[in-house]
Amino acid sequence: MKKYVAMFLVMLMMGSLIGCNSTDLTQDPVAQEENEDTSTNDSSEGAMTKELEYADNLEINISMGNNQRTITYNQATPLILPDGTSVAQGDLKPTWQYYEKLLGFSIEDMAIQDQKATEMMDLAAAISFSDATIYGGNSIAEDFVSYGPQGYFLDLTTRMNDMPAVKAFFEENQDVLDAITAYDGGVYYLPYVAEIGNYARVFAGRESWVTALLDSDAALEAETATINTEYEGFEDRHESNIIKLQNEVSNGTLTRDVALETLLTYISETYPELDKPSDLYLNATAQYDIDELIALWRVIELSPNTLSKLETGSIVADAEISPFFVRKAEYREDVVRLATYFGGQRVHGSDSYAARFYLNEDNELTYSYSEDSFLEIVGYLQDIYQEGLIHSEFAEMSSKDDFRKALYSSDENEGQRQFGFMTYDWIASTTAANADVVGMLPPLTQIGTDEYIHYMENTRVIKPDGWGISTAASDEEINSALKMFNLLFTEEGHQAQNYGIPQNLVEGETFLGPDGVEYPKFNEWLLTTADELKNSDVSGFLRDFMGSQIPIGYQKEIGFEYQYTVNRGWDAWALYNEAEVRMTSYDATEPLFKLVPTVFSLTEQDTAKLATVSINEEQTDQIFLFITDSSNALDSPEDLKAMFEASGVDVYIDVYKNAYERMLQ
């Protein structure tokens, strides 16, 4: 923060707030207002300047489908802020009252409090977006790049000089600007930019299970479980393959003692430099590949007596062990993310399960789900599932259960029979679920080269959320909206959206994150109040009670997440940062590491072509029916390929290829 203040003072002395080349997110709102008085409505060189006039009231419709997440306070009990101010039901939330003071005009919430954003946009389109000035919410970026070129939303590129902090951000982040540009070259919304440049979800597992099984026999109990081996192995990284070795000695039926002894012998012979066998999987020494991970999963699946006693103090009869699980069935595609570790197959081009396009090594937009290489790996996943190594209910979309809670956080519950080892999820919340859970480096894989690296496809991205300005509004209302947009990229607005109002923070104090950066520090009032009102869910408290972290146009900062990380979470962040795990990014020069846009801007002709094909969730459902070997599944990966071809996947791919090329022009 001291950096921001120093930069601001230098800019103020130079008198160049409009024309400066600073790329900082932060500027003083007072300086912005002075700047706006001499800015232009036309971004062209030499345009005449004129003083902007602002509306006294700004009407905003931010819809989330959840009345707790709007900008209006909807709690039955008033919130008492540290200065004694009471926020009652129907008031603007504190962050938005703070914005009113910074902006100098009132904000009016026009949202129907429980209305979903997509429904709101459909209804607003019917009246030409005339009942508010700003429209926003979650998962509506596609609406902006569709309605914008039709003239319903302001092209923000024509008013960048009236948003100096936004302009500076895009000058620093050209790739972000490219990713939200519509097919006609306009930019019709500001996106919620997640903590780009940071890992999203990572691998995590129970540390004690690995050490108890591999490093000694003190905890081992007699086991009777068996596995009928289905998976035949993939890797040829070493002279011998651990899966093939386990299969050879099993005669088709694998027991725990045979699986464990084979794995320990393999580790000793293949990695003689390791101090202990668990070092192959844990901490910075981790260097396992996908087959070595599956071999460990087999040992874990075959050890229900040992592991249930480890967690409860006594053997649990009929204990169910899930070596790998996803948090919820709606996150089932985290299982197909494992494909990345079978030779570097890319799956999702952005942090969205629907983002099934990625850039191949020739820089061509590629649809992963219909690729032969991907579908071959789907066959491997079916084998692994049949061995019981993936949670049995992971793809049951009718289930609303929180598997992470059931498999990580319920060990002490009476009658608990289900226990999980490894998952793929957020560091802060996952390590908070169980004190034994640690971050684990991802399996080594090859991405475009023969080199084996630690790689994560799932990284922070531009979200399909944000807000835009209706062209049906008056000039004064549009000017007020631009001032609002700019505020969230200044120091005050940025900090309030990430951490809440100044009363949430320890004045003048920061904390040092595991990335070596200093961030604002929450005070005791916020942490205590979040504990009382939201069960220590700081993020939920900020959204539901304070009005921060709403999915609108702003840059999310990772310092918030660091600050509420507990147990072994900081160790996980440090592990990934110090190991320099490779990840996708917007500014990557190698195509296989480059993120693609969250949404693509489609023309009417594109939409018409897509109407002639039938690529939808039915094909995705078939992939998971195949993995789980359902009676309704197709018979082979080849049949899955034929299904995509019959559904018009070639036309589908061409439409999006052309759309992507237009966005780059």
CATH topology of domain 2-196+464-563: D-Maltodextrin-Binding Protein; domain 2 (3.40.190)
pLDDT of the residue at 231: 98
**Range 301-318 average pLDDT:** 97
For 205, 313, 421, 534, the CA distances from 433, given in Å and listed in that order, are 11, 19, 12, 16
**Range 87-98 average pLDDT:** 98
pLDDT of the residue at 45: 38
pLDDT of the residue at 664: 82
Residue 42 has pLDDT above 70, yes or no: no
Q: Which two tokens stand for residue 220?
A: 């081992």
**Range 302-310 average pLDDT:** 98
Residue 562 pLDDT grade (very low, low, confident, very high; cuts 50, 70, 90): very high
pLDDT one-digit tens code per residue, 569-586: 999 999 999 999 999 999
Out of 12-26, 86-100, 275-289, 357-371, pick the least confident: 12-26
pLDDT of the residue at 79: 98
Q: Which two tokens stand for residue 346?
A: 């890319």
Kindly state the helix (H) or strand (E) to which residue 194 belongs, with its residue range: none
- β-pair partners for 594: 585
Residue 24 pLDDT grade (very low, low, confident, very high; cuts 50, 70, 90): very low
Phi (first) and psi of residue 326, to 5 degrees: -105, 165
In percent, the amount of the chain with pLDDT more than 90 equals 89
Residue 50 has pLDDT above 80, yes or no: no
**Range 470-474 average pLDDT:** 98
Out of 253-267, 481-495, 591-605, pick the least confident: 591-605
Contacts of 602 (CB under 8 A, 6+ apart): 145, 146, 183, 610, 655, 659
Residue 535 pLDDT grade (very low, low, confident, very high; cuts 50, 70, 90): confident
Out of 18-22, 214-218, 298-302, 431-435, pick the least confident: 18-22
d(CA 235, CA 77): 58
**Range 174-193 average pLDDT:** 94
Q: What is the DSSP string of 606-632?
A: HHHHHTT---SHHHHHHHHHHHTT-TT
The C-alpha R_g of the chain, in whole angstroms, comes to 27
User: Beta strands of 312-427 (E only): which ranges?
Assistant: 320-325, 357-359, 365-367, 418-426
pLDDT of the residue at 28: 34
- Nearest CA to 203 out of 408, 422, 457 is that of 422
pLDDT one-digit tens code per residue, 124-152: 999 999 999 999 999 999 999 999 999 99
Decide: 162 and 39 in contact? Cβ < 8 Å: yes
pLDDT of the residue at 663: 85
**b/e per residue, 152-188, with b = 16+ CB within 10 A?**
bbbbbeebbbbbbbbbbbbeebebbbebbbbbeebbb
> Within a 10 A sphere around the Cβ of 538, how many other Cβ atoms?
23
Q: For residue 318, give the amino acid letter.
A: D
Where along the chain do its domains lie?
A: 2-196+464-563, 201-327+402-456, 613-664
d(CA 81, CA 229): 60
Residue 320 pLDDT grade (very low, low, confident, very high; cuts 50, 70, 90): very high
pLDDT of the residue at 564: 83
Helix (H, G, I), strand (E, B) or coil at 250: helix
Q: In what order do the strands lie in the sheet with 106-109?
A: 106-109, 57-63, 134-137, 462-469, 190-193, 554-555
pLDDT one-digit tens code per residue, 597-651: 989 999 999 999 999 999 999 999 999 999 999 999 999 999 999 999 999 999 9
**Range 50-61 average pLDDT:** 94
pLDDT of the residue at 515: 87
- Nearest CA to 467 out of 490, 493, 486, 491 is that of 486
pLDDT one-digit tens code per residue, 219-228: 999 999 999 9
Helix (H, G, I), strand (E, B) or coil at 446: coil
Q: Taking all residues of the chain, what is their mean pLDDT, rounded to a whole number?
A: 92
d(CA 619, CA 635): 14
**Range 205-228 average pLDDT:** 98
Q: Which two tokens stand for residue 324?
A: 């790998």
**Range 355-374 average pLDDT:** 97
